[in-house]
Amino acid sequence: MNAVRVKICGLTNVDDALMAADAGADLLGMIFYSPSPRYVTVDRAREIVRAVREAGFEHVRLVGVTVNAPRYFLDLLLEDVGVDLIQLHGDEAPVILSDYEGRAYKALRPHTEEELDLDAPWFLDMGLREGPRLLIDAAVKGAYEGTGVLANWDTARRLARRYPILLAGGLTPENVAEAVRSVRPWGVDVSSGVEQEPGKKDPAKVRAFIELARGVREEGKG
């Protein structure tokens, strides 16, 4: 089985981004949603993108996390800031994702399996062919990111059997191995679970999270 991919999200500064890339992260996420304590400006994001690229981490994909952002802002992130992918983490309509097919994927926060069954088909075919097709996060009323609440693993597991998904929501070094064993996702996404404080990562937690997430797939070899 392929090693699980790891996305370290909520990055706000160059040092943390370089540390996460050096620790082996596959994706680095920056949040462009002003109410978030992990919000980054366009100028700061440019600095982070430039630093990661100049450091030679060519395999790392940089992700702009947006919430109900207008198209001109999505274009700005892709073409000017230089992110590789957009994560649509709000209440975006499928037509927006279709405009960015191959460069964006949708985050869903289903309350129930029935809700997932209704929403997922609208977005799955427009996600990334090599993954992720969707991100599954916890459903918390009025909150879009970094809640620390676990997603519904049973719901995510059913989807992960058929599609490459990113599992988010309340993951930490303490529970990520269990999450990977249970859900078998394409990748896992963490923000608050590896922080010293909102917007500042803990290097030891980041490295432990990546090692523990990947260790599950290593167990299955041979």
Separation between Cα atoms, residue 206 and residue 24, nearest integer Å: 9
Pairing of strands 200-201, 195-197: antiparallel
Q: Terminus-to-terminus CA distance in the chain, angstroms?
A: 10
CA separation for the pair 50, 45 (Å, rounded): 8
d(CA 69, CA 48): 21
Q: How many CA atoms lie within 13 A of 121 on its CB side?
A: 5
Q: Confirm whether 154 is a catalytic residue.
A: no
CA dist 183 and 161 (Å) reads 8
Is residue 15 flagged as an active site residue?
Answer: no
* Candidate list 91, 137, 154, 202, residue with the active-site label: 137
Of residues 9, 16, 26, 189, which has the active-site annotation? 9
Nearest-5° angle of CA 179, CA 186, CA 71? 115
Catalytic residues, which ones? 9, 137
